[in-house]
Amino acid sequence: MAEFQSESTSSLDPILDLLLSVGYADARKTDISASKRLSGGLAWCVAAVNSDGPRFDEVPDDETLTQQEEMQGIEESLRSMGCPHSLEAYQIETLDCNAIFPVVQWLVYRIRLSLSDDENQQELNVMNQLKLLRERIDKEGASIAVQKLISLMESLKHLERQESEFQLNCNVTRLELQAEVIELEGRIASGCDSKSLSHSLNQSFIEPLEKLNSAKRELAARYRAIVAVKRQLDDVPSQSELIQYERRFSELYVHIQEKLRQTRKCYGTYNALLEIKELMLKETSLLNSISSQFQDAITSTAGRMKLIDSMEGIVKSSQQKLDKVQLGLLEEQKVCDALKQRYAVAVAEQRHCYSLLKAFQEECALNEKLRCQTSV
């Protein structure tokens, strides 16, 4: 008998814990019998669910009712509330924990939903008040500190709502786990063999393992997709790399232009020296020809006339070449003058840009100074 009472008390503890978690203070009073605490807790939960919300400072006064009438009233109330679990008065009287626990679990869940709805309504009221306050502040002119305070208050409300939702989910999960534990204890107490129990436990582990493996496969697939996208991103040069490429291309362009200028200068020098060489060879050949023919031509009048005509032709040809060279020099001088003029214009524009930049920097400094003064 003592063993049965101990087992009944241990099975009753989760039920009393649930009642205590929603505010039924008599759940742990040792001077009240277990059946009285249980019936009182059920009556309290029924009253809390049927009312607008549980009041933890008041417990329904059932002293005017007998315990049997109270249990029958609980049975009728649960039936009228649409409880998915059937519970009769004799089961409450005999402390049938397997039948009472799901009913208490359902009532506690309803109470928590009611509490959550009340909290949401209160939060909605607070948000409406905050909205009105914000409109009033905007109308009267709000400061930065007030705006920051409002933002912090909204963040606090959001965190509190997340905390309440998390606690509700934790409580629901805890209730489900407690129900599973009670079910396993009942199966063990009913004499279920270890083989079927082990098979049941293995079956209960298979589904979570399958979910875990599926989640791992999905994670691996997403990781592969992320790696593929990362490789594609690595193939595209970043902004800093593009800037570096542009700088290197600019340096290469300057280097090529310098080499081109040097090459053109070398070609020009070579062509000028080649032309000088040709002229010197022609001059040498002409002097040799004059030297060899001068003695023969000077002895006769016809020879002298022929020599004079030849010399005049040479002078005329030299004059034409000189005119051609002077014309080329004049054209080069014009190009040089045009380049000097363009250089002077560019220098003037550079000086103008420097003056504008200096004025802009001064205006920026003045603007920053004025902003600091106005902010203070």
* Cβ neighbours around 112 below 10 Å, total: 19
The pTM of this model reads: 0.34
* Cβ neighbours around 267 below 10 Å, total: 10
Name the residue range of residue 67's domain: 2-192
* Shared domain check, 260 and 148: no
In a domain? residue 48: yes
* Shared domain check, 121 and 23: yes
Q: Which two tokens stand for residue 219?
A: 């994670």
Residue position matching structure tokens 């506690």: 108
Q: b/e for 128-155, b at 16 or more Cβ within 10 A?
A: eeeeeeeeeeeeeeeeeeeeeebeeeee
Q: What is the pLDDT of residue 355?
A: 94
Single residue among 259, 274, 299 that ends a domain in this structure: 299
* Shared domain check, 144 and 23: yes
* Shared domain check, 162 and 24: yes
Helix H or strand E segment including 277: helix 239-298
* Cβ neighbours around 104 below 10 Å, total: 24
* Shared domain check, 178 and 271: no
Q: What is the pLDDT of residue 10?
A: 53
Q: What is the pLDDT of residue 247?
A: 92
pLDDT bucket at 4, cuts 50 / 70 / 90: very low
* Cβ neighbours around 162 below 10 Å, total: 10
Distance in angstroms (rounded) separating the CA atoms of residues 24 and 41:
6
In a domain? residue 338: no
Q: Which two tokens stand for residue 72?
A: 């029958």
Question: Number of structural domains, the chain?
Answer: 2
At 139, give phi and psi (nearest 5°). Answer: -70, -40
Range 70-97 average pLDDT: 82
Q: What is the pLDDT of residues 353-365, one digit of tens each?
A: 999 999 999 999 9
Question: How far apart, in Å, are the Cα atoms of 2 and each of 7, 8, 88, 100?
Answer: 9, 10, 26, 22
Q: Is the pLDDT of residue 130 over 90?
A: no
Q: What is the pLDDT of residues 273-330, one digit of tens each?
A: 998 898 889 888 888 887 777 777 777 777 778 878 888 888 888 888 889 889 988 9
Q: Quick check: helix, strand or coil at residue 9?
A: helix
CA angle 104, 107, 112 (to 5 degrees): 125
* Shared domain check, 147 and 73: yes
